[in-house]
Amino acid sequence: MSRKRPGGGLSASQQVAKFLGVSVLSGAVLAGLALPAVGAFGLAARGTMEGFDEIPAMMERPPLTQMTTILDADGNRIADVYSRNRTVVPLDEMSEHLRQAIVAIEDARFYEHGAVDLQGILRALTTNAQSGSVEQGASTLTQQYVKNVFVEAAGDDPEAVAEATIQTGAAGLGRKIREMKYAIQLEEELTKDQILENYLNITYFGQQAYGAEAASQRYFSKPAAELALHEAALLAGLVQSPSQYDPVQYEDTALQRRNTVLASMVDNGAITEAEADEAMALDLGLNVSQPRQGCITAVNDAGFFCDYVKWEFLSNPVFGETREEREALWALGGLTIRTTLDPQAQEAAAQAAKDGAFAEDSVSATVVGVQPGTGHILSMAQSRPYGNDPEQHQTTINLNVSSEMGGSAYGFQPGSTFKPITAAAALEEGISPALEYTTDNEIAVPKSDFRDCEGRPLTDEAEPDYELGNERDDMVGTWDMTAALADSVNTYFVELEREVGLCETMQMADELGVERGDNEPLAAVPSLTLGSETVAPLQMANAYATFAARGMHCAPVSITAVTDAEGEELPVPEPSCERVMAEDNADTVNAMLRNVVEEGTGSSVALPDRQSAGKTGTTNDRRDVWFAGYTPDLATAVHVGNENQNEAMVGITIAGQYHAQAGGASVAGPIWRQAMNGALAGVAPSTFPEVDVPRGEGDEEEDDRPGDNRPGRDGDEDRDNRGRPGRDRD
């Protein structure tokens, strides 16, 4: 066993042996450069033998991860998102001081030697052999750049990163040979300035800053083009070890490193000693900016919409055939995404949600608006702020959307806001809105009278009848479809559902884009018409937008244009619109729902000087309250309730106001009205097509009918199972 001299140094013979060994290794590396493959070295590391005959395209123009910017419909920035904080800029938009500093400290002879600096290799070998440790590296800037390309391509894969940076053994030697070969080929394809530009854009400068521009903004809050000498020297010094020389954490070490760079610039003839002395006399001059990115930074409380944009991008095949391809494109970034968000509508929706329910309340409010005829999502807001801090009542669960788009697990029962869907199905089946039913306040209907879409009758030996009741005991009488919608009569709509068919009602809901909040089909249950199945608010807003568009259904969309980092336009989803209702039937629904707002349960929230239509909804035990309504220009759905649907809103304070019993008109309705008024301010009023809706024989006495709803009363609680306290839906 060899022995070290006292003090831990190598003996003279050991130094010679080390020098010779490294020299032999160097010879092997240089020999390897001339070989068509590296099999002669016995290298079998994955990737070592590939790509030596043709330089990969990513070497010349690496796909650098960059910031993606999300814009609203007017081109205003909503938020910046990225997996790596980087903004690619050309070399002429970087300070000359930075270019000179990087060359001086990392590769002083960069513009003089080729891809591999043999002189530097020999110098490093000699120095390292004499010291007994690695004191100097011999990689040129071009070689460093090649390594960084492989590190960048590895992304967040630890195994791939380790492979791209391995130092020892046959794999390490193979990596060095691969880098040298690519470096030689690269310098045949690119100029030195092009290589330097790529290098400065790919290099990591610490503090999550990739590339010179992001580093300059991070440490000095200014563009890389404006870096002063002492600032440029600091950044250049970080490249060797961003953590060791981190100026935020280790000021003294960073200062020493900066001054070393300045001295190297003098030695390299880039600056004079006087300029270096002046720069060394300055402190670090930090003006650190905390990187702000992600949907949590979105303006106009659009964090949930920002999050929805990402979900739409990752789920739509137009952005990549597989989920993995779409995720890779999103991670790569550099995109500019124009969205449908209307800044005026969003501001109004966000304020209405926050005014309608405080963040600390036990229940929350959601507001989502859709443009009829396009499916464009114009607003999306919640009363709880977007974020991950529960102490600040934040959440990242988008309660407006279904689970597969980042929403709650199941959605929420829509209550009576579902009844217009049954009415639409009836009209499409040729049933007249004049159809009347005379019912008691409570009825029992055989479940076998309802059939699923396989034609099978519903059977339940334990409870053969479906029992339900209206909200109030005095809701007894005769109603046609218009009056039943205005009064939100449960018994009428269960009878209508039995008439039109449960399957037909389910099919109409599907055509209107309504499914369960967990993205499963609606269940075939008699209580469907009363809103017993859980759905997402966006689905209800979009269904009502279909009524407003006179029966033309358009799938919800949030992305209208995408450009990549090169400014090239990428494909975006084509509008997906189809007619699902005859125009005259949709016009009839609109007329009946206008009556709800003008004379029925929604009369307290009618929009001033503007035609509107809508429907209230209040579920069992008042766990969910809704108002879904629209004009010809905008459809908005509002939901208020506990996220887990486990709180009865009875004797409750919401937004500082006490409610003995929360209702669709009294709680959700004012939020809807505020959001709609704000969104449509300055927009000329539009009108619905006028239509004569056939009425039943008893419509002349409608105002005197028992159960007619007076202003200020919700009258829409959807009680099934006779509305017994504590009994939930079927």
Please say if the pLDDT value at position 203 is more than 60.
yes
Higher pLDDT, 460 or 693: 693
CB 386 within 8 A of CB 375: no
Higher pLDDT, 621 or 477: 477
CB 675 within 8 A of CB 369: yes
Our CA angle for 567, 573, 576, nearest 5°, is 150
Tell me the pLDDT tens digit for each residue of 122-158: 665 555 555 554 444 458 999 999 988 888 877 666 7
User: Average pLDDT, whole number, for the chain?
Assistant: 86
Lowest mean per-residue pLDDT among 162-171, 382-391, 447-456: 162-171
Q: Position of tokens 């068509």?
A: 36
CB 619 within 8 A of CB 717: yes
Q: For residues 253-267, give the mean pLDDT.
A: 97
Q: Residue 129, exposed/middle/buried by CB under 10 A (0-12, 13-18, 19+)? A: buried
Q: Position of tokens 């990087």?
A: 102
Rounded alpha-carbon distances, angstroms, from residue 30 to 52, 168, 169, 337, 564:
15, 17, 16, 48, 40
CB 203 within 8 A of CB 213: no
* Predicted pLDDT of residue 49: 37
Longest dimension (CA), the chain: 116
The whole-model pTM stands at 0.80
Confidence of residue 581 (pLDDT cuts 50, 70, 90): very high
Q: What is the Cα–Cα distance from 716 to 725, expressed in whole angstroms?
A: 16
Tell me the pLDDT tens digit for each residue of 72-106: 999 999 999 988 889 999 999 999 999 999 999 99
Tokens of 618: 């209040």
Q: Residue 455, exposed/middle/buried by CB under 10 A (0-12, 13-18, 19+)? A: exposed
- Return the amino acid letter for 155: G
155: left (phi over 0), alpha (psi -120 to 50) or beta: left
Tell me the pLDDT tens digit for each residue of 513-537: 999 999 999 999 999 999 999 999 9
* Predicted pLDDT of residue 685: 96
Tell me the pLDDT tens digit for each residue of 420-476: 999 999 999 999 999 999 999 999 999 999 999 999 999 888 899 999 999 889 999
Rounded alpha-carbon distances, angstroms, from residue 502 to 282, 455, 509, 578, 594:
79, 10, 11, 23, 26
Q: What is the Cα–Cα distance from 421 to 510, expressed in whole angstroms?
A: 10
The DSSP bridge partners found for residue 446 are: 465
Least Cα distance to 276 among 27, 63, 105, 474 occurs for 105
Please say if the pLDDT value at position 10 is more than 90.
no
